[in-house]
Amino acid sequence: MLPKIRQRWLRPIGLLASLMTLYLVPSWYCGRDAQAWFNGDPGLQRALAEEQIHFEEKDDRHRVGPTQNRFSGEWALVTHQMTALGLAQLCLAHPDWSARYAPWATRAALKSMSPEMRDFGTRAWNEDALSSLAGSHGHAYLAYAALAIGMARLVDSAFPVREGRQHDALIAAYERRLLASPTGLIETYPGEAYPTDVAAVAAAIAVHGRATKADHRKVLDHWVRQVRRVQLDPQSGLIIQRLSAKDGKRHDAPRGSGTGLAAYFAGFVDRPLFVQLADGLWQNETALLRFGAIREYAKGYSGDGDTDSGLVLFGVSVAATGFALAPSHALRRLHEFELLYRTTELFGIRIQQDARTRFATGGPIGNALMLALLTSGPEVVE
């Protein structure tokens, strides 16, 4: 009699134990360093920073000419830009690290502005952005580099004067174009306006003001108003991915990937807007087995993954999930950060090598993004 009773209970107990293991162990393993990242562990931060410096050194030796593919060009620019942002954020958080990282922030930022990095935009517009500053064409893609330059100027007292003047001229052109836009949008490429790219424009203008003491409040206030009036979907709290720069007509859905990166950029400009966009992301968060992710499309919309979102699986976006780390970290939302970091660790596959660490699946651009997103906070306006 007794063996039969034991046998009857063994199966449900075994099943329960298996379910608890599935629930607890993978999330524990992938989240074991989440709180350390959240608290700015110096060892983790330095290891990822050193990986990107290693990349920049190798890139200097092996870099080739302009890329023929627009997306490859964008990725190359953003890799150097996000490296510069991450290193500059570390300098702001740890001033005693500036001797090591500020020169590298400048080096990566200047590389992101180089002719071969912006060639994809030159071909799209049939004109170079820096040779046509008096014109009305948006060239919003170059704001990513302009933001990196501004952050380098903020932390590196040895930033070169000539490149600083070139940066001043580009910011002046962006300011004039943005003020002239009734929607708060300027085009990235002919006929294509992306609120996320214009958020980078606004961030670049704001950081220029911090680095040079220039007063840009008029244009930044204009941008914030138009984000709320034209570019933000009130139902979902997400930014619309693409619109008409002239009349704000929607050409895409409200999406998580664009909102996540726009939120990071908004942190450089306006804290209330930053919080509002972050709240939109968290409203579109989902979780399973203590792993968190951000849905790519707002409720009522659907679509596939693309260059902006990366892989979209069961409705959630790799890019949106990664980008949401920045507001979770900067706004000190530990619960959201831990959920998202576990997913990042699961799919990113972090590898330690000597004094460096990297996320294996993202390549250089993934590591550059992680450096900027996981060290976010010092750049956020109060």
> Lowest mean pLDDT: which of 17-26, 89-98, 271-280, 312-321?
17-26
* pLDDT for the residue 24: 53
pLDDT in tens, 69-89: 555 778 899 999 999 999 999
- Amino acid 3: pLDDT: 56
Structure pTM?
A: 0.93
Q: How confident is the model at residue 310 (pLDDT cuts 50, 70, 90)?
A: confident
Q: At what angle do helices 143-155 and 70-93 cross, to 10 degrees?
A: 20
What pLDDT is attached to residue 29? 86
CATH annotation of 47-374? 1.50.10.10
Q: Inform me whether the pLDDT recorded for 22 exceeds 60.
A: no
- pLDDT score of 86: 98
Q: What is the pLDDT of residues 350-365, one digit of tens each?
A: 998 889 999 998 899 9
Q: Is residue 308 over pLDDT 90?
A: no
pLDDT digits (tens, 9 = 90+) for 114-131: 999 999 999 999 999 999
pLDDT (tens digit per residue) in 186-219: 999 999 999 999 999 999 999 999 999 999 999 9
Q: Which residues of 284-323 are buried (b: 16+ CB within 10 A; e: fewer)?
A: bbeeeebbbbbbbbbeeeeeeebebbbebeebbbbbbbbb
- Residue extents of the structural domains in the chain: 47-374
Q: Are 80 and 371 in contact (CB under 8 A)?
A: no
| pLDDT tens digits along 129-182 | 999 999 999 999 999 999 999 999 999 999 999 999 999 999 999 999 999 999
Edge-to-edge strand list for the sheet holding 291-295: 285-288, 291-295, 316-317, 312-313
Q: What confidence score (pLDDT) does residue 1 get?
A: 46
Angstrom distance (rounded) from CA 237 to CA 158: 41
Average pLDDT, rounded, for the chain: 92
pLDDT interval class at 6 (50, 70, 90): low
378, 93 contact by CB (below 8 A): yes
Cβ–Cβ under 8 Å, residues 51 and 357: yes
What percent of the chain is modeled with pLDDT above 70?
A: 91
